[in-house]
Amino acid sequence: MPVTDDPATTAALARFERAVAAETRIEPRDEMPDAYRATLVRQIAQHAHSEIIGMQPEANWITRAPSLRRKAILIAKVQDEAGHGLYLYGAAETLGVGRAELLDKLHTGRQKYSSIFNYPTLTWADVGAIGWLVDGAAITNQVPLCRCSYGPYARAMVRICKEESFHQRQGYELLHTLARGTAEQRAMAQDAVDRWWWPSLMMFGPPDGDSPRTERSVAWRIKRHTNDELRQRFVDICVPQAASLGLTLPDPALRFDEARGHWEFGAIDWDEFRAVLRGEGPCNEERLAQRRRAHEEGAWVREAAAAYAAKRGGRGGGEGEEVAA
Amino acid sequence: MTAPGVALPLADDALILSHRLAEWAGHAPVLEEEVALANLALDLLGQARALYAMVGDEDALAFLRNERSFYNAQLTEQPNGDFAHTIARQLYFSTYQELLYGRLATGTDDVAALAAKAVSETAYHRDHAVTWTLRLGDGTAVSHTRMQRAADALWRYTGELFHPVVPGIDYAALHADWTARVTAVLTEATLTVPPFAPRRAGGLGREGVHTEPFGRLLAEMQHLHRSHPGASW
Protein backbone atom coordinates (compact mmCIF):
# COMPACT_ATOMS: atom_id res chain seq x y z
CA MET A 1 0.00 0.00 0.00
CA PRO A 2 1.29 3.49 -0.72
CA VAL A 3 1.99 5.36 2.44
CA THR A 4 0.82 8.94 2.68
CA ASP A 5 0.44 11.54 5.38
CA ASP A 6 -2.05 13.64 3.43
CA PRO A 7 -5.48 13.12 5.08
CA ALA A 8 -7.41 13.89 1.88
CA THR A 9 -5.39 11.32 -0.06
CA THR A 10 -5.75 8.79 2.70
CA ALA A 11 -9.53 9.23 2.70
CA ALA A 12 -9.67 8.96 -1.09
CA LEU A 13 -7.63 5.78 -1.00
CA ALA A 14 -9.92 4.30 1.63
CA ARG A 15 -12.97 5.17 -0.52
CA PHE A 16 -11.32 3.55 -3.53
CA GLU A 17 -10.44 0.40 -1.64
CA ARG A 18 -13.98 0.08 -0.25
CA ALA A 19 -15.39 0.44 -3.76
CA VAL A 20 -13.03 -2.19 -5.15
CA ALA A 21 -13.73 -4.56 -2.27
CA ALA A 22 -17.45 -4.18 -3.01
CA GLU A 23 -16.70 -5.31 -6.62
CA THR A 24 -17.49 -1.89 -8.09
CA ARG A 25 -16.08 -1.51 -11.60
CA ILE A 26 -13.63 1.36 -11.87
CA GLU A 27 -14.17 3.45 -15.02
CA PRO A 28 -11.80 5.89 -16.77
CA ARG A 29 -13.21 9.05 -15.18
CA ASP A 30 -13.27 7.60 -11.66
CA GLU A 31 -10.78 8.61 -9.04
CA MET A 32 -8.02 6.02 -8.66
CA PRO A 33 -4.68 5.85 -6.85
CA ASP A 34 -1.67 6.71 -9.00
CA ALA A 35 -0.14 3.33 -8.27
CA TYR A 36 -3.33 1.56 -9.45
CA ARG A 37 -3.24 3.56 -12.68
CA ALA A 38 0.47 2.87 -13.17
CA THR A 39 0.09 -0.86 -12.47
CA LEU A 40 -2.75 -1.13 -14.98
CA VAL A 41 -0.93 0.85 -17.65
CA ARG A 42 2.08 -1.43 -17.29
CA GLN A 43 0.04 -4.62 -17.27
CA ILE A 44 -2.32 -3.70 -20.14
CA ALA A 45 0.51 -2.30 -22.27
CA GLN A 46 2.60 -5.40 -21.77
CA HIS A 47 -0.41 -7.52 -22.60
CA ALA A 48 -0.92 -5.50 -25.81
CA HIS A 49 2.78 -5.80 -26.69
CA SER A 50 2.56 -9.56 -26.21
CA GLU A 51 -0.26 -9.77 -28.75
CA ILE A 52 1.77 -7.80 -31.28
CA ILE A 53 5.08 -9.60 -30.78
CA GLY A 54 3.14 -12.87 -30.53
CA MET A 55 2.11 -12.49 -34.17
CA GLN A 56 5.67 -13.18 -35.26
CA PRO A 57 6.28 -16.81 -34.25
CA GLU A 58 3.02 -17.84 -35.89
CA ALA A 59 3.24 -15.60 -38.94
CA ASN A 60 6.56 -17.39 -39.48
CA TRP A 61 4.52 -20.37 -40.73
CA ILE A 62 1.75 -18.69 -42.75
CA THR A 63 3.58 -18.95 -46.05
CA ARG A 64 4.41 -22.63 -45.42
CA ALA A 65 1.09 -23.85 -44.00
CA PRO A 66 0.55 -27.35 -45.39
CA SER A 67 -3.11 -27.05 -46.43
CA LEU A 68 -5.32 -24.18 -47.52
CA ARG A 69 -7.67 -24.79 -44.60
CA ARG A 70 -4.81 -24.52 -42.08
CA LYS A 71 -3.48 -21.48 -43.87
CA ALA A 72 -6.83 -19.72 -43.58
CA ILE A 73 -7.08 -20.60 -39.87
CA LEU A 74 -3.57 -19.31 -39.22
CA ILE A 75 -4.05 -16.02 -41.08
CA ALA A 76 -7.31 -15.46 -39.19
CA LYS A 77 -5.57 -16.14 -35.91
CA VAL A 78 -2.72 -13.72 -36.56
CA GLN A 79 -5.30 -11.15 -37.64
CA ASP A 80 -7.17 -11.69 -34.36
CA GLU A 81 -3.96 -11.07 -32.45
CA ALA A 82 -3.48 -7.71 -34.15
CA GLY A 83 -7.09 -6.95 -33.23
CA HIS A 84 -6.46 -7.92 -29.60
CA GLY A 85 -3.46 -5.62 -29.56
CA LEU A 86 -5.68 -2.80 -30.80
CA TYR A 87 -8.37 -3.42 -28.14
CA LEU A 88 -5.72 -3.48 -25.45
CA TYR A 89 -3.94 -0.32 -26.57
CA GLY A 90 -7.40 1.25 -26.61
CA ALA A 91 -8.00 0.10 -23.02
CA ALA A 92 -4.58 1.47 -21.97
CA GLU A 93 -5.39 4.80 -23.63
CA THR A 94 -8.39 5.24 -21.30
CA LEU A 95 -5.78 5.57 -18.55
CA GLY A 96 -4.19 8.60 -20.19
CA VAL A 97 -1.29 7.15 -22.19
CA GLY A 98 -1.01 7.16 -25.99
CA ARG A 99 -0.41 4.17 -28.23
CA ALA A 100 2.61 5.83 -29.84
CA GLU A 101 4.20 6.29 -26.43
CA LEU A 102 3.56 2.67 -25.47
CA LEU A 103 4.95 1.37 -28.76
CA ASP A 104 8.02 3.52 -28.21
CA LYS A 105 8.50 1.90 -24.81
CA LEU A 106 8.23 -1.52 -26.42
CA HIS A 107 10.70 -0.62 -29.15
CA THR A 108 13.23 0.75 -26.69
CA GLY A 109 12.90 -2.19 -24.30
CA ARG A 110 11.43 -0.12 -21.47
CA GLN A 111 8.30 -2.28 -21.44
CA LYS A 112 8.26 -6.03 -21.78
CA TYR A 113 6.16 -8.61 -23.57
CA SER A 114 5.50 -12.22 -22.63
CA SER A 115 8.68 -14.30 -22.35
CA ILE A 116 7.10 -17.10 -24.38
CA PHE A 117 7.38 -15.27 -27.70
CA ASN A 118 11.16 -15.37 -27.47
CA TYR A 119 11.11 -19.03 -28.45
CA PRO A 120 11.35 -20.02 -32.13
CA THR A 121 8.73 -21.88 -34.18
CA LEU A 122 10.88 -24.58 -35.74
CA THR A 123 8.28 -26.87 -37.27
CA TRP A 124 4.64 -26.76 -38.32
CA ALA A 125 3.68 -28.61 -35.14
CA ASP A 126 4.84 -25.59 -33.15
CA VAL A 127 1.80 -23.76 -34.48
CA GLY A 128 -0.36 -26.40 -32.82
CA ALA A 129 1.66 -26.39 -29.60
CA ILE A 130 1.34 -22.62 -29.39
CA GLY A 131 -2.42 -22.88 -29.84
CA TRP A 132 -2.87 -25.63 -27.30
CA LEU A 133 -0.31 -24.67 -24.64
CA VAL A 134 0.48 -20.99 -25.07
CA ASP A 135 -3.09 -19.92 -25.79
CA GLY A 136 -4.26 -22.34 -23.11
CA ALA A 137 -1.97 -20.70 -20.55
CA ALA A 138 -3.05 -17.26 -21.73
CA ILE A 139 -6.71 -18.18 -21.26
CA THR A 140 -6.06 -19.56 -17.78
CA ASN A 141 -4.42 -16.23 -16.95
CA GLN A 142 -6.98 -14.09 -18.70
CA VAL A 143 -10.36 -15.55 -17.80
CA PRO A 144 -10.07 -14.15 -14.26
CA LEU A 145 -9.20 -10.78 -15.82
CA CYS A 146 -12.72 -10.66 -17.28
CA ARG A 147 -13.68 -9.78 -13.68
CA CYS A 148 -10.80 -7.34 -13.18
CA SER A 149 -11.75 -4.19 -11.26
CA TYR A 150 -10.90 -1.87 -14.17
CA GLY A 151 -13.90 -1.82 -16.54
CA PRO A 152 -12.23 -1.18 -19.93
CA TYR A 153 -9.66 -3.94 -19.33
CA ALA A 154 -12.30 -6.40 -18.11
CA ARG A 155 -14.48 -5.75 -21.16
CA ALA A 156 -11.54 -6.13 -23.56
CA MET A 157 -10.74 -9.44 -21.90
CA VAL A 158 -14.26 -10.78 -22.43
CA ARG A 159 -13.91 -10.28 -26.18
CA ILE A 160 -10.34 -11.55 -26.27
CA CYS A 161 -11.02 -14.70 -24.23
CA LYS A 162 -13.77 -15.79 -26.62
CA GLU A 163 -11.40 -15.66 -29.57
CA GLU A 164 -8.50 -17.16 -27.63
CA SER A 165 -10.48 -20.20 -26.61
CA PHE A 166 -11.34 -20.73 -30.25
CA HIS A 167 -7.63 -20.56 -31.14
CA GLN A 168 -6.80 -22.95 -28.36
CA ARG A 169 -9.25 -25.56 -29.67
CA GLN A 170 -7.84 -25.16 -33.17
CA GLY A 171 -4.31 -25.72 -31.85
CA TYR A 172 -5.39 -28.82 -30.00
CA GLU A 173 -7.13 -30.11 -33.12
CA LEU A 174 -4.00 -29.44 -35.21
CA LEU A 175 -1.88 -31.49 -32.80
CA HIS A 176 -4.55 -34.17 -32.64
CA THR A 177 -4.37 -34.54 -36.42
CA LEU A 178 -0.57 -34.77 -36.35
CA ALA A 179 -0.55 -37.21 -33.43
CA ARG A 180 -2.78 -39.52 -35.47
CA GLY A 181 -0.93 -38.96 -38.73
CA THR A 182 2.26 -40.45 -40.11
CA ALA A 183 5.17 -41.44 -37.86
CA GLU A 184 6.97 -38.26 -38.93
CA GLN A 185 3.98 -36.08 -38.10
CA ARG A 186 3.61 -37.72 -34.73
CA ALA A 187 7.29 -37.19 -33.92
CA MET A 188 6.93 -33.55 -34.99
CA ALA A 189 3.99 -33.10 -32.60
CA GLN A 190 5.81 -34.69 -29.67
CA ASP A 191 8.94 -32.63 -30.29
CA ALA A 192 6.90 -29.42 -30.33
CA VAL A 193 5.17 -30.27 -27.04
CA ASP A 194 8.54 -31.15 -25.52
CA ARG A 195 9.91 -27.72 -26.46
CA TRP A 196 6.86 -25.61 -25.53
CA TRP A 197 5.76 -27.23 -22.26
CA TRP A 198 8.16 -25.59 -19.82
CA PRO A 199 8.12 -22.15 -21.45
CA SER A 200 4.31 -22.30 -21.22
CA LEU A 201 4.49 -22.94 -17.46
CA MET A 202 6.76 -19.91 -17.16
CA MET A 203 4.02 -17.73 -18.68
CA PHE A 204 2.37 -17.58 -15.26
CA GLY A 205 5.30 -15.60 -13.93
CA PRO A 206 7.66 -16.13 -11.02
CA PRO A 207 6.66 -18.26 -8.03
CA ASP A 208 4.47 -16.56 -5.44
CA GLY A 209 7.34 -16.08 -3.00
CA ASP A 210 9.17 -14.07 -5.68
CA SER A 211 6.32 -11.98 -7.08
CA PRO A 212 6.45 -8.64 -5.25
CA ARG A 213 3.42 -7.03 -6.88
CA THR A 214 0.97 -9.91 -6.50
CA GLU A 215 -0.39 -9.03 -3.07
CA ARG A 216 -1.36 -5.50 -3.99
CA SER A 217 -2.76 -6.54 -7.37
CA VAL A 218 -4.96 -9.11 -5.65
CA ALA A 219 -6.14 -6.50 -3.11
CA TRP A 220 -7.03 -4.14 -5.94
CA ARG A 221 -8.85 -6.88 -7.83
CA ILE A 222 -6.50 -6.56 -10.79
CA LYS A 223 -5.37 -10.11 -10.23
CA ARG A 224 -7.73 -12.68 -8.84
CA HIS A 225 -5.33 -15.55 -8.25
CA THR A 226 -1.64 -15.93 -7.61
CA ASN A 227 0.82 -17.10 -10.26
CA ASP A 228 1.23 -20.51 -8.63
CA GLU A 229 -2.52 -21.05 -8.30
CA LEU A 230 -3.03 -20.39 -12.00
CA ARG A 231 -0.03 -22.50 -12.99
CA GLN A 232 -1.43 -25.44 -10.99
CA ARG A 233 -4.84 -25.00 -12.62
CA PHE A 234 -3.19 -25.08 -16.05
CA VAL A 235 -1.21 -28.25 -15.30
CA ASP A 236 -4.36 -29.95 -14.01
CA ILE A 237 -6.13 -29.13 -17.29
CA CYS A 238 -3.24 -30.09 -19.57
CA VAL A 239 -2.28 -33.49 -18.19
CA PRO A 240 -5.51 -35.25 -19.24
CA GLN A 241 -5.54 -33.35 -22.54
CA ALA A 242 -2.02 -34.58 -23.32
CA ALA A 243 -3.19 -38.11 -22.59
CA SER A 244 -6.11 -37.78 -24.96
CA LEU A 245 -3.77 -36.43 -27.63
CA GLY A 246 -1.61 -39.51 -27.09
CA LEU A 247 1.40 -37.27 -26.39
CA THR A 248 3.58 -37.09 -23.31
CA LEU A 249 4.63 -34.08 -21.28
CA PRO A 250 8.41 -33.75 -20.76
CA ASP A 251 8.34 -33.98 -16.97
CA PRO A 252 9.33 -37.22 -15.23
CA ALA A 253 8.12 -35.79 -11.90
CA LEU A 254 4.48 -35.49 -13.01
CA ARG A 255 2.23 -37.53 -10.71
CA PHE A 256 -1.24 -37.14 -9.32
CA ASP A 257 -1.38 -36.21 -5.65
CA GLU A 258 -4.54 -37.85 -4.32
CA ALA A 259 -4.42 -35.91 -1.06
CA ARG A 260 -4.33 -32.51 -2.74
CA GLY A 261 -6.37 -33.51 -5.77
CA HIS A 262 -3.78 -31.90 -8.04
CA TRP A 263 -0.97 -32.91 -10.39
CA GLU A 264 2.47 -32.53 -8.90
CA PHE A 265 5.07 -31.32 -11.35
CA GLY A 266 8.83 -30.87 -11.49
CA ALA A 267 10.93 -27.80 -10.83
CA ILE A 268 10.85 -24.95 -13.34
CA ASP A 269 14.19 -23.65 -14.55
CA TRP A 270 13.91 -20.12 -13.19
CA ASP A 271 17.41 -19.29 -14.35
CA GLU A 272 16.25 -19.77 -17.91
CA PHE A 273 13.14 -17.68 -17.23
CA ARG A 274 15.21 -14.81 -15.87
CA ALA A 275 17.67 -15.05 -18.76
CA VAL A 276 14.82 -14.77 -21.29
CA LEU A 277 13.41 -11.77 -19.39
CA ARG A 278 16.85 -10.16 -19.45
CA GLY A 279 16.79 -10.41 -23.24
CA GLU A 280 18.95 -13.51 -23.52
CA GLY A 281 16.34 -15.90 -24.90
CA PRO A 282 16.66 -17.53 -28.32
CA CYS A 283 14.70 -14.88 -30.27
CA ASN A 284 14.59 -11.72 -28.13
CA GLU A 285 16.75 -9.72 -30.50
CA GLU A 286 15.02 -10.89 -33.65
CA ARG A 287 11.53 -10.20 -32.31
CA LEU A 288 12.30 -6.69 -31.22
CA ALA A 289 14.31 -5.97 -34.36
CA GLN A 290 11.45 -7.03 -36.61
CA ARG A 291 8.96 -4.91 -34.66
CA ARG A 292 11.25 -1.87 -34.82
CA ARG A 293 11.91 -2.40 -38.49
CA ALA A 294 8.19 -2.60 -39.30
CA HIS A 295 7.62 0.60 -37.36
CA GLU A 296 10.58 2.49 -38.84
CA GLU A 297 9.95 1.34 -42.39
CA GLY A 298 6.30 2.32 -41.96
CA ALA A 299 7.07 5.85 -40.76
CA TRP A 300 6.71 7.40 -44.23
CA VAL A 301 3.30 5.71 -44.61
CA ARG A 302 2.04 7.11 -41.30
CA GLU A 303 3.43 10.53 -42.20
CA ALA A 304 1.65 10.40 -45.56
CA ALA A 305 -1.65 9.50 -43.91
CA ALA A 306 -1.31 12.36 -41.44
CA ALA A 307 -0.37 14.86 -44.16
CA TYR A 308 -3.26 13.76 -46.35
CA ALA A 309 -5.73 14.03 -43.46
CA ALA A 310 -4.45 17.52 -42.67
CA LYS A 311 -4.88 18.58 -46.29
CA ARG A 312 -8.37 17.18 -46.59
CA GLY A 313 -9.30 18.70 -43.26
CA GLY A 314 -7.94 22.03 -44.54
CA ARG A 315 -10.22 21.82 -47.55
CA GLY A 316 -13.06 21.89 -45.07
CA GLY A 317 -15.14 19.42 -46.98
CA GLY A 318 -15.85 17.09 -44.10
CA GLU A 319 -14.83 14.37 -46.50
CA GLY A 320 -11.43 13.91 -44.90
CA GLU A 321 -10.35 10.38 -44.26
CA GLU A 322 -9.97 9.18 -40.74
CA VAL A 323 -6.35 8.25 -40.45
CA ALA A 324 -5.04 5.13 -38.88
CA ALA A 325 -1.75 6.36 -37.59
CA MET B 1 -0.74 -29.67 -69.83
CA THR B 2 -4.50 -29.60 -69.33
CA ALA B 3 -6.51 -26.60 -70.43
CA PRO B 4 -6.83 -24.19 -67.52
CA GLY B 5 -10.55 -23.59 -67.96
CA VAL B 6 -12.26 -20.61 -66.37
CA ALA B 7 -12.13 -21.30 -62.63
CA LEU B 8 -8.44 -22.19 -62.40
CA PRO B 9 -6.90 -18.88 -63.54
CA LEU B 10 -9.27 -16.94 -61.30
CA ALA B 11 -8.49 -19.24 -58.38
CA ASP B 12 -4.75 -18.96 -59.00
CA ASP B 13 -4.97 -15.15 -59.06
CA ALA B 14 -6.71 -15.20 -55.69
CA LEU B 15 -4.40 -17.79 -54.12
CA ILE B 16 -1.16 -16.14 -55.17
CA LEU B 17 -2.19 -12.60 -54.29
CA SER B 18 -3.48 -13.88 -50.94
CA HIS B 19 -0.09 -15.45 -50.32
CA ARG B 20 1.72 -12.20 -51.06
CA LEU B 21 -0.60 -10.19 -48.81
CA ALA B 22 -0.18 -12.66 -45.97
CA GLU B 23 3.59 -12.10 -46.16
CA TRP B 24 2.88 -8.70 -44.60
CA ALA B 25 1.78 -10.28 -41.30
CA GLY B 26 3.93 -8.75 -38.58
CA HIS B 27 5.50 -6.20 -40.96
CA ALA B 28 2.72 -3.66 -41.62
CA PRO B 29 3.28 0.08 -41.12
CA VAL B 30 0.37 0.46 -38.66
CA LEU B 31 -1.54 -2.10 -36.62
CA GLU B 32 -4.77 -1.32 -38.45
CA GLU B 33 -3.05 -2.48 -41.63
CA GLU B 34 -2.04 -5.76 -39.98
CA VAL B 35 -5.76 -6.36 -39.64
CA ALA B 36 -6.70 -5.00 -43.06
CA LEU B 37 -4.04 -6.83 -45.09
CA ALA B 38 -4.79 -10.11 -43.33
CA ASN B 39 -8.46 -9.52 -44.03
CA LEU B 40 -7.78 -9.07 -47.75
CA ALA B 41 -5.61 -12.19 -47.75
CA LEU B 42 -8.37 -14.19 -46.10
CA ASP B 43 -11.06 -13.02 -48.51
CA LEU B 44 -8.90 -13.96 -51.48
CA LEU B 45 -7.97 -17.31 -49.99
CA GLY B 46 -11.67 -18.00 -49.47
CA GLN B 47 -12.35 -17.15 -53.11
CA ALA B 48 -9.51 -19.40 -54.24
CA ARG B 49 -10.81 -22.32 -52.20
CA ALA B 50 -14.35 -21.96 -53.55
CA LEU B 51 -13.04 -21.81 -57.13
CA TYR B 52 -10.68 -24.78 -56.66
CA ALA B 53 -13.60 -26.80 -55.33
CA MET B 54 -15.15 -26.46 -58.79
CA VAL B 55 -12.04 -28.00 -60.35
CA GLY B 56 -10.84 -30.69 -57.94
CA ASP B 57 -8.99 -31.13 -54.65
CA GLU B 58 -7.89 -27.71 -53.37
CA ASP B 59 -4.69 -28.90 -51.75
CA ALA B 60 -3.60 -30.98 -54.73
CA LEU B 61 -4.22 -27.96 -56.94
CA ALA B 62 -2.38 -25.52 -54.66
CA PHE B 63 0.53 -27.65 -53.48
CA LEU B 64 1.24 -30.19 -56.19
CA ARG B 65 1.35 -28.15 -59.40
CA ASN B 66 4.59 -26.68 -60.72
CA GLU B 67 5.28 -23.16 -62.00
CA ARG B 68 4.29 -23.95 -65.58
CA SER B 69 0.86 -25.22 -64.51
CA PHE B 70 -0.22 -22.13 -62.58
CA TYR B 71 -2.35 -19.65 -64.55
CA ASN B 72 -2.40 -16.58 -62.33
CA ALA B 73 -1.66 -13.22 -63.88
CA GLN B 74 1.95 -12.16 -63.34
CA LEU B 75 0.73 -9.04 -61.52
CA THR B 76 -0.48 -11.15 -58.58
CA GLU B 77 2.90 -12.82 -58.05
CA GLN B 78 4.93 -9.60 -57.96
CA PRO B 79 6.85 -9.23 -54.69
CA ASN B 80 5.35 -6.90 -52.08
CA GLY B 81 8.08 -4.28 -52.32
CA ASP B 82 7.33 -1.29 -50.13
CA PHE B 83 3.82 -0.44 -48.98
CA ALA B 84 3.27 1.68 -52.10
CA HIS B 85 4.05 -1.30 -54.36
CA THR B 86 1.59 -3.43 -52.45
CA ILE B 87 -1.05 -0.72 -52.74
CA ALA B 88 -0.45 -0.19 -56.47
CA ARG B 89 -0.77 -3.94 -57.05
CA GLN B 90 -3.98 -3.90 -55.02
CA LEU B 91 -5.38 -0.91 -56.90
CA TYR B 92 -4.74 -2.50 -60.29
CA PHE B 93 -5.92 -5.95 -59.32
CA SER B 94 -8.95 -5.09 -57.18
CA THR B 95 -10.27 -2.71 -59.84
CA TYR B 96 -9.93 -5.49 -62.41
CA GLN B 97 -11.45 -8.10 -60.14
CA GLU B 98 -14.41 -5.96 -59.13
CA LEU B 99 -15.23 -5.20 -62.77
CA LEU B 100 -14.74 -8.80 -63.88
CA TYR B 101 -16.76 -10.28 -61.01
CA GLY B 102 -19.48 -7.71 -61.60
CA ARG B 103 -19.80 -9.00 -65.14
CA LEU B 104 -19.45 -12.68 -64.19
CA ALA B 105 -22.14 -12.33 -61.52
CA THR B 106 -24.79 -11.79 -64.18
CA GLY B 107 -24.32 -15.35 -65.45
CA THR B 108 -26.05 -18.47 -64.17
CA ASP B 109 -23.24 -20.98 -63.53
CA ASP B 110 -21.22 -21.83 -60.42
CA VAL B 111 -18.60 -19.19 -61.17
CA ALA B 112 -21.38 -16.60 -61.40
CA ALA B 113 -22.69 -17.55 -57.97
CA LEU B 114 -19.21 -17.23 -56.51
CA ALA B 115 -18.60 -13.93 -58.28
CA ALA B 116 -21.86 -12.55 -56.92
CA LYS B 117 -20.73 -13.38 -53.41
CA ALA B 118 -17.19 -12.11 -53.91
CA VAL B 119 -18.11 -8.83 -55.55
CA SER B 120 -18.85 -7.17 -52.21
CA GLU B 121 -15.45 -8.29 -50.91
CA THR B 122 -13.71 -6.93 -53.98
CA ALA B 123 -15.53 -3.60 -53.55
CA TYR B 124 -14.04 -3.40 -50.07
CA HIS B 125 -10.60 -4.33 -51.41
CA ARG B 126 -10.82 -1.61 -54.02
CA ASP B 127 -11.97 0.93 -51.46
CA HIS B 128 -8.96 0.09 -49.29
CA ALA B 129 -6.58 0.41 -52.25
CA VAL B 130 -8.14 3.67 -53.46
CA THR B 131 -8.00 5.23 -50.00
CA TRP B 132 -4.32 4.41 -49.61
CA THR B 133 -3.47 5.48 -53.17
CA LEU B 134 -4.93 8.90 -52.32
CA ARG B 135 -3.14 9.12 -48.98
CA LEU B 136 0.22 8.13 -50.43
CA GLY B 137 -0.11 10.02 -53.72
CA ASP B 138 -1.38 13.19 -52.08
CA GLY B 139 0.41 12.80 -48.74
CA THR B 140 4.05 13.89 -48.44
CA ALA B 141 6.66 14.44 -51.15
CA VAL B 142 8.28 11.15 -50.16
CA SER B 143 5.07 9.16 -50.31
CA HIS B 144 4.13 10.81 -53.62
CA THR B 145 7.44 9.73 -55.17
CA ARG B 146 7.13 6.21 -53.84
CA MET B 147 3.53 5.85 -55.00
CA GLN B 148 4.39 7.12 -58.48
CA ARG B 149 7.34 4.75 -58.70
CA ALA B 150 5.12 1.84 -57.69
CA ALA B 151 2.35 2.79 -60.12
CA ASP B 152 4.93 2.95 -62.92
CA ALA B 153 6.74 -0.25 -61.98
CA LEU B 154 3.64 -2.43 -61.98
CA TRP B 155 1.88 -0.82 -64.94
CA ARG B 156 3.55 -3.16 -67.44
CA TYR B 157 1.90 -6.18 -65.79
CA THR B 158 -1.63 -4.81 -66.23
CA GLY B 159 -2.03 -5.54 -69.94
CA GLU B 160 -2.13 -9.24 -69.28
CA LEU B 161 -5.24 -8.89 -67.11
CA PHE B 162 -7.26 -8.31 -70.28
CA HIS B 163 -6.09 -11.41 -72.06
CA PRO B 164 -9.38 -13.31 -72.55
CA VAL B 165 -10.00 -16.04 -69.96
CA VAL B 166 -13.75 -16.23 -69.57
CA PRO B 167 -15.78 -16.78 -72.74
CA GLY B 168 -18.50 -14.20 -73.33
CA ILE B 169 -16.72 -11.39 -71.50
CA ASP B 170 -15.92 -8.33 -73.61
CA TYR B 171 -12.35 -7.83 -72.48
CA ALA B 172 -11.86 -4.70 -74.58
CA ALA B 173 -14.75 -3.04 -72.74
CA LEU B 174 -13.39 -4.35 -69.43
CA HIS B 175 -10.04 -2.79 -70.24
CA ALA B 176 -11.67 0.54 -71.10
CA ASP B 177 -13.66 0.57 -67.84
CA TRP B 178 -10.57 -0.38 -65.88
CA THR B 179 -8.46 2.33 -67.50
CA ALA B 180 -11.11 4.97 -66.78
CA ARG B 181 -11.37 4.00 -63.13
CA VAL B 182 -7.64 3.68 -62.51
CA THR B 183 -6.98 6.96 -64.31
CA ALA B 184 -9.53 8.74 -62.13
CA VAL B 185 -7.95 7.45 -58.92
CA LEU B 186 -4.36 8.17 -59.96
CA THR B 187 -5.36 11.65 -61.10
CA GLU B 188 -7.18 12.44 -57.87
CA ALA B 189 -4.09 11.19 -56.02
CA THR B 190 -2.05 13.81 -57.97
CA LEU B 191 -0.20 11.02 -59.75
CA THR B 192 0.58 10.64 -63.42
CA VAL B 193 -0.90 7.75 -65.35
CA PRO B 194 2.14 5.88 -66.67
CA PRO B 195 2.68 7.26 -70.17
CA PHE B 196 3.70 3.97 -71.77
CA ALA B 197 1.64 1.02 -72.90
CA PRO B 198 1.76 -2.09 -70.70
CA ARG B 199 4.41 -4.38 -72.11
CA ARG B 200 2.92 -7.58 -70.77
CA ALA B 201 0.09 -7.64 -73.24
CA GLY B 202 0.23 -11.36 -73.97
CA GLY B 203 -1.39 -14.06 -71.92
CA LEU B 204 1.85 -14.97 -70.20
CA GLY B 205 0.70 -16.00 -66.73
CA ARG B 206 -2.51 -17.33 -68.26
CA GLU B 207 -0.34 -19.71 -70.28
CA GLY B 208 1.77 -20.81 -67.34
CA VAL B 209 4.69 -18.47 -68.07
CA HIS B 210 5.74 -16.58 -64.93
CA THR B 211 8.33 -14.19 -63.57
CA GLU B 212 11.37 -15.40 -61.64
CA PRO B 213 10.13 -14.65 -58.12
CA PHE B 214 7.20 -17.00 -58.64
CA GLY B 215 9.27 -20.19 -58.41
CA ARG B 216 10.59 -19.13 -55.02
CA LEU B 217 7.07 -18.33 -53.84
CA LEU B 218 5.96 -21.85 -54.78
CA ALA B 219 9.06 -23.43 -53.22
CA GLU B 220 8.17 -21.86 -49.89
CA MET B 221 4.43 -22.44 -50.15
CA GLN B 222 4.65 -26.08 -51.21
CA HIS B 223 7.69 -27.31 -49.30
CA LEU B 224 6.00 -28.74 -46.22
CA HIS B 225 3.09 -30.28 -48.08
CA ARG B 226 5.40 -31.94 -50.61
CA SER B 227 7.73 -33.20 -47.86
CA HIS B 228 5.00 -35.46 -46.49
CA PRO B 229 3.34 -37.12 -49.48
CA GLY B 230 -0.15 -38.31 -48.74
CA ALA B 231 -0.26 -36.92 -45.19
CA SER B 232 -3.36 -35.24 -43.78
CA TRP B 233 -3.13 -31.90 -42.01
Residue B2 falls inside a structural domain: no
Going residue by residue through chain B (233 aa), what tens digit of pLDDT does each one get? 345 688 999 999 999 999 999 999 999 999 999 999 999 999 999 999 999 999 999 999 999 999 999 999 999 999 999 999 999 999 999 999 999 999 999 988 888 999 999 999 999 999 999 999 999 999 999 999 999 999 999 999 999 999 999 989 999 999 999 999 999 999 999 999 998 888 766 679 999 999 999 999 999 999 999 999 999 99
pLDDT of residue B2: 42
pLDDT tens digits along A153-171: 999 999 999 999 999 999 9
State the amino acid at position A164 in one-letter form: E
pLDDT of residue B203: 77
- The answer to whether the beta carbons of residues A51 and A88 sit under 8 Å apart is yes
pLDDT of residue A324: 43
| B contacts of A309 (beta carbons < 8 Å) | 135
Residue B197 falls inside a structural domain: yes
Of residues B110 and A320, more confidently modeled? B110
Model's pTM, two decimal places? 0.94
% helix, strand, coil for chain B, step of 5: 70, 0, 30
Choose, out of B12, B18, B23, B30, the residue to mutate when testing the contact with A (most A CBs < 10 Å).
B30
How far apart CA B38 and CA B229 sit, in angstroms, is: 29
The CATH number of residue B164's host domain is 1.20.1260.10
**Contact check, Cβ <8 Å, A303/B31:** no
pLDDT of residue B24: 98
What are the DSSP calls for B138-161, one per residue? Answer: TS-HHHHHHHHHHHHHHHTTSGGG
pLDDT at residue A4 tops 60: no
pLDDT of residue B5: 83
Residue B232 falls inside a structural domain: no
Count up the domains in chain B and report the number.
1
**Contact check, Cβ <8 Å, A56/B45:** no
The secondary structure element, H or E, covering residue B20 is: helix B7-22
Give one word for A52, left, alpha or beta, with left for phi > 0 and alpha for psi -120 to 50. Answer: alpha
Burial code of B22-43, b = ≥16 C-beta within 10 A, e = fewer?
bbbbbbbbbbbbbbbbbbbbbb
pLDDT tens digits along A71-108: 999 999 999 999 999 999 999 999 999 999 999 999 99
Which residue in chain A is spatially nearest to B16 when comparing CA positions?
A63
Of B139, B221, B225, the CB nearest to A304: B139
| A contacts of B65 (beta carbons < 8 Å) | none
How far apart CA B94 and CA A210 sit, in angstroms, is: 55
Give one word for B66, left, alpha or beta, with left for phi > 0 and alpha for psi -120 to 50. Answer: beta
Residue B233 falls inside a structural domain: no
Grouping H, G, I as helix, E, B as strand and the rest as coil, residue A103 is helix
Confidence band for A6, pLDDT divided at 50, 70 and 90 = confident
pLDDT of residue B63: 98
| B contacts of A67 (beta carbons < 8 Å) | 59, 63, 225, 233
**Contact check, Cβ <8 Å, B45/A75:** yes
Residue B219 falls inside a structural domain: yes
How far apart CA A296 and CA B78 sit, in angstroms, is: 23
Of A68, A294, A324, the CB nearest to B49: A68
| A contacts of B230 (beta carbons < 8 Å) | 182
**Pairs across A and B, CB distance < 8 A:** 150
* Ranges assigned E (strand) in chain A: 255-257, 262-264
Count of CB atoms situated within 10 Å of the CB of B129: 22
Residue B131 falls inside a structural domain: yes
pLDDT of residue A9: 80
Q: What is the overall mean pLDDT for chain A?
A: 93
Domain extent at residue B175: 7-227
| B contacts of A310 (beta carbons < 8 Å) | none
pLDDT tens digits along A9-44: 888 888 898 999 998 999 999 999 999 999 999 999
